[in-house]
Amino acid sequence: MGTYWVYILTNDLNSVVYIGVTNDLERRVEEHRQKLVPGFATKYNLTKLVHFEDTNDIRSAIEREKQLKGWTRRRKNALIDKSNPHWNDLSPRSDLQDPSLRSG
C-alpha cells in the first residue's frame, strides 16, 4: 500500500487550474515544470502547486480527483483559499514553500 496524491496546479497568474492524481507528488510536479508530458498543464504553463491531499487508497484518490474536477471554478478557488490563501507554491522544491500552508 502506498500514498496517493490529488493535487491542484496553477500558473503564475492563477488564471487556470489543473487537477491530477499521482503516487509521487514531487516527481509529478517536476514533470509538469519540465513540460515532459504534452497536454493541458503544459499548454497553460501550470507549474505552481497550490493544493494537495493524500490518501492510502488509489480508488479514493481517483474519486476525489473526479469530484474536484466537477466543481465550479469558484468552489475550487475557495478550497485553495482555505488552505493556501496567498496561493503560494507548496511544492517541495519551491523557494516559496511554507510547510504551515500544506493541506492534506
Per-residue pLDDT of the chain (104 residues; tens, 9 = 90+): 689 999 999 999 999 999 999 999 999 999 999 999 899 999 999 999 999 999 999 999 999 999 999 999 999 999 999 999 999 999 976 544 444 444 44
Collect all residues with Cβ–Cβ distance below 8 Å to 45 and sequence separation of at least 6. Answer: 11, 12
Task: Tell me how long the chain is.
Answer: 104
pTM for the complete prediction?
0.86
Alpha-carbon distance 32 to 26, whole Å?
Answer: 10
Provide the number of structural domains found in the chain.
1
pLDDT at 93: 65
Tell me which residue range forms the domain holding 35.
4-101
Alpha-carbon distance 76 to 14, whole Å?
Answer: 12
pLDDT at 2: 85
The CATH number linked to 55 is: 3.40.1440.10
